[in-house]
A and B are shown apart, each in its own frame.
Chain A
Amino acid sequence: MEPLVKHEGKVVCMNRVNVDTDQIIPKQFLKRIERDGFGEFLFYDWRYEPNGNPRPSFELNTERAQGASILLADANFGCGSSREHAVWALQDYGFRVVIAPSIADIFFNNCFKNGVLPIVIDQQVRNELAQSHERGEWERMTVNLADQVLETDHGQRIAFDVDSHKKYMLMNGLDDIGLTLQYQAEIEAYEAKRKAYQFVY
């Protein structure tokens, strides 16, 4: 997993509450055998017309949103189905940070497993940020996980909370496998003394 210590990127604003994971990645794409490549199906039914053409009015389809890697969402983001595909889709599309006044539990945890940082900020603060962004006062943001602070390119600083274990895992790019790899030396030592029949040859 790619570590996240500090991330600087373009922000896209999504003013919808209760965005559920069915919307983030519709069910027809869950049959896929891979975990990557979901980005093109992200928000599929909102993002595309039934004929497959991009829907110009959708947030991610605007000129200004191109290349965004930080999603400023609204309340109860990621609710509904537990599908991790939702995070895979956001991640594959290019998002590293999701900021919202509240984020559904399972989705929240799934984010950490996939190198995406979910940040919960105050609803009022979120609304003001969205409004100033809409007025064109700022475009980009720096998210500093180490110091637990985010800063817009017009100089607004906002502190945020994060669970210390999750922070540690994400800053070091550790998932379960990452944790096991901390015992790399023990694994190597084991392999060095392993019996011949334990190999396949």
Chain B
Amino acid sequence: MGKTLFQKIWDAHVVKQLEDGQALLYIDLHLVHEVTSPQAFAGLRFANRSVRQPTQTYATMDHNVPTVNPSDVRDAIAKKQIETLMENCRDFNVSLADLDSPHQGIVHVIGPELGLTLPGKTIVCGDSHTSTHGAFGALAFGIGTSEVEHVLATQCLWQTHPKTMRVQLNGSLKPGITAKDVILGLIAKYGVNFGTGHVIEYAGTLIPSLSMEQRMTICNMSIEFGARAGLIAPDETTIEYVKGRAHAPQGEAWEAAVAEWKELRSDADAQFDVDIVFDIDDLEPQVTWGTNPGQGGSVNGFVPNPADAKSDVERRAIAQALEYMGLEPGTRISDIPIQHVFIGSCTNARIEDLRLAAAVVKGRKVADGVHAMVVPGSKQVKQQAEAEGLDKIFKEAGFEWREPGCSMCLGMNPDIIPAGERSASTSNRNFEGRQGRGARTHLVSPAMAAAAAIAGHFVDVRTFEVEGVTA
């Protein structure tokens, strides 16, 4: 029987297999940010240990960075966390993209951007959305702070073998439909726990046509599907993206790597524990109405009625979500007014996402009473966007144009939404309180967020006349 892509990467990284099922896995790349690392570094100091492979460790600051003036961190605890990361990186010789670095940004945006993220690697970070890097055919997953310390000290991690799942995405993206709609649609159909215990490989006829940005959006939200990791086999698009990036191999090493990456795919006769097909030809733009990423559907649909739920558990879940979200069953999704628009996060703050949103916004104005902001995923994304004049398009329309960071995705910095107010957000989690206590989050694609900003409520972006987006 053939091997899955996952199995090939796994096998290539087992340092020691124990009889009780534990495998000691070698970690090629360890990404670090300010929030989940301080106690881990402190642990190293405490035990008088060093970082085993500082050059396979790379840090940035993103979670509690202010996006108006990043160097003006007023929250003393946040400031201390940021300073601590700087000190730790200095003391342990770890590379750090600090606030002054042209490479600073959200950890899952800068890894790929810098060519740190490569096919075939094992990648970990003290952050659940590490699954993003799976878009390159890497085995990438989030870990806790004790594991961060363990990886810093040993460059390895104890793991049990996960199950495998293949999700075949078949069809093509119609105008106005994005990778975000694909992953939101998939989670809405199967539920937020469907991927639990599995590493997912996304395959199917859609994949070859997707850009790396789109693939990252899909893999990013594997975690919202319950999966441990999500990955996509590398192809020409992957190799093209990686080529020439700052940390990508060069010369002979590049040739050797490419030759290997071309073999990195599941064998034709490989078996998966679960194999599903998701048809996307009829997919509509997605909007979540509830308080988990699976509670959503078409922009042309309606807020569901708990009474129509298939089970008691679901009925209570819907009722509870609608109460928090302040929504009435039967409301047209497109009738829901919004007060905030957030275009950002590790899901949708890459250059292509911003281009898409800018195309919708161009020549239009943000609706009265709507506060809209764009937070680029990294300094490099910001710079590129400015070179293309996207910042001007956003600003002229009435958007705020901010500095890179996680920002309103989790509201650890000052960017929070007041209680009872509603946002159209390109981020990945619509949990209660995620964007601020009592804040109501609706997850959408960058194109749909932009359209909502202009309309003041949700609207099918396909009804907008947009160059390159609608026919």
Which residues from chain A sit less than 8 Å from chain B, CB to CB?
1-2, 31, 33-36, 88, 114, 175-177, 180-181, 183, 186-187, 190-191, 194-201
* Per-residue interface assignment for chain B, residues 41 to 58, with 1 indicating a CB less than 8 Å from any chain A CB and 0 otherwise: 011011101001001101
Residue of A at shortest CB range from B119?
A: A197
Residues of A within 8 A of B39 (CB): 33-35
Residue of B at shortest CB range from A197?
A: B257
- Interchain Cβ contacts under 8 Å between A and B, 23 examples: A1-B47, A35-B42, A35-B46, A175-B47, A177-B49, A177-B149, A177-B153, A180-B24, A180-B154, A180-B156, A180-B158, A183-B24, A187-B155, A191-B26, A191-B155, A195-B260, A196-B249, A196-B253, A197-B120, A198-B28, A198-B56, A199-B28, A199-B56
B189 in the interface (beta carbon within 8 A): no
How far is A67 from B156 in the complex, measured between Cα atoms in Å?
Answer: 39
Of the listed stretches B76-84, B167-175, B293-301, B320-328, name the one at the interface; the rest are far from the partner chain.
B76-84
Contact A34–B42 (Cβ < 8 Å): yes
Residues of A within 8 A of B253 (CB): 196-197
Q: Which of A2, A36, A180 has the most CB of B within 10 A?
A: A180
How far is A33 from B87 in the complex, measured between Cα atoms in Å?
Answer: 12
How many residues in B have their beta carbons less than 8 Å from beta carbons of A? 40
B247 in the interface (beta carbon within 8 A): yes
How far is A110 from B15 in the complex, measured between Cα atoms in Å?
Answer: 29
Contact B156–A176 (Cβ < 8 Å): no
Q: A33-B39, A114-B46, A196-B253 are in contact. List 18 more A-B contacts (CB 8 A).
A: A33-B42, A33-B80, A33-B81, A33-B84, A34-B84, A35-B43, A175-B47, A177-B153, A183-B16, A187-B154, A196-B256, A196-B257, A197-B256, A197-B257, A198-B56, A198-B120, A199-B56, A200-B29
How far is A36 from B39 in the complex, measured between Cα atoms in Å?
Answer: 9
Residues of A within 8 A of B15 (CB): 183, 186-187, 190
B146 in the interface (beta carbon within 8 A): yes
How far is A193 from B181 in the complex, measured between Cα atoms in Å?
Answer: 42
Residues of A within 8 A of B24 (CB): 180, 183, 186-187
How far is A32 from B43 in the complex, measured between Cα atoms in Å?
Answer: 13
How far is A34 from B41 in the complex, measured between Cα atoms in Å?
Answer: 8
Residues of A within 8 A of B77 (CB): 31
Q: Which positions 230-272 of chain B face chain A at CB distance < 8 Å?
A: 247, 249, 253, 256-257, 260
Which residues from chain B sit less than 8 Å from chain A, CB to CB?
15-16, 24, 26, 28-29, 38-39, 42-43, 45-47, 49, 52, 55-56, 58, 77, 80-81, 84, 116, 118, 120-121, 146, 149-150, 153-156, 158, 247, 249, 253, 256-257, 260
Interchain nearest-CB distance for B262 vs A (Å): 13
Query: Which 3 A/B pairs are nearest by Cβ-Cβ distance?
Result: A33-B38, A35-B42, A34-B42
Residue of B at shortest CB range from A176?
A: B150
A195 and B257 contact, Cβ closer than 8 Å, known pairs A180-B150, A183-B15: yes
How far is A1 from B43 in the complex, measured between Cα atoms in Å?
Answer: 10
How far is A201 from B95 in the complex, measured between Cα atoms in Å?
Answer: 11
Residues of A within 8 A of B16 (CB): 183, 186
Interchain nearest-CB distance for B126 vs A (Å): 13
Residues of A within 8 A of B155 (CB): 187, 191
Interchain nearest-CB distance for A195 vs B (Å): 7
Contact A197–B150 (Cβ < 8 Å): no
Interchain nearest-CB distance for A17 vs B (Å): 30
Contact A200–B257 (Cβ < 8 Å): no
Pick from A36, A181, A186: contact of B45, CB under 8 Å: A36
Residues of A within 8 A of B56 (CB): 198-200
Residue of B at shortest CB range from A182?
A: B16
Residues of B within 8 A of A181 (CB): 153-154
Interchain nearest-CB distance for B184 vs A (Å): 33
How far is A191 from B42 in the complex, measured between Cα atoms in Å?
Answer: 26
Residues of B within 8 A of A195 (CB): 120, 256-257, 260
Interchain nearest-CB distance for B310 vs A (Å): 39
Residues of B within 8 A of A177 (CB): 47, 49, 149-150, 153-154
Residue of B at shortest CB range from A179?
A: B158
Contact A190–B38 (Cβ < 8 Å): no
Q: Which of B43, B118, B247 has the most CB of A within 10 A?
A: B43
How far is A103 from B405 in the complex, measured between Cα atoms in Å?
Answer: 45
Residues of B within 8 A of A35 (CB): 39, 42-43, 46
A190 and B26 contact, Cβ closer than 8 Å, known pairs A34-B38, A197-B120, A197-B253: yes
Interchain nearest-CB distance for B238 vs A (Å): 13
How far is A184 from B18 in the complex, measured between Cα atoms in Å?
Answer: 15
Residues of A within 8 A of B158 (CB): 176, 180
Residues of A within 8 A of B29 (CB): 200
Contact A194–B46 (Cβ < 8 Å): no
Residues of B within 8 A of A191 (CB): 26, 155
A197 and B118 contact, Cβ closer than 8 Å, known pairs A35-B42, A177-B49, A186-B15: yes
Residues of A within 8 A of B43 (CB): 35
Contact A197–B249 (Cβ < 8 Å): yes
A200 and B247 contact, Cβ closer than 8 Å, known pairs A36-B45, A175-B47, A177-B49: yes
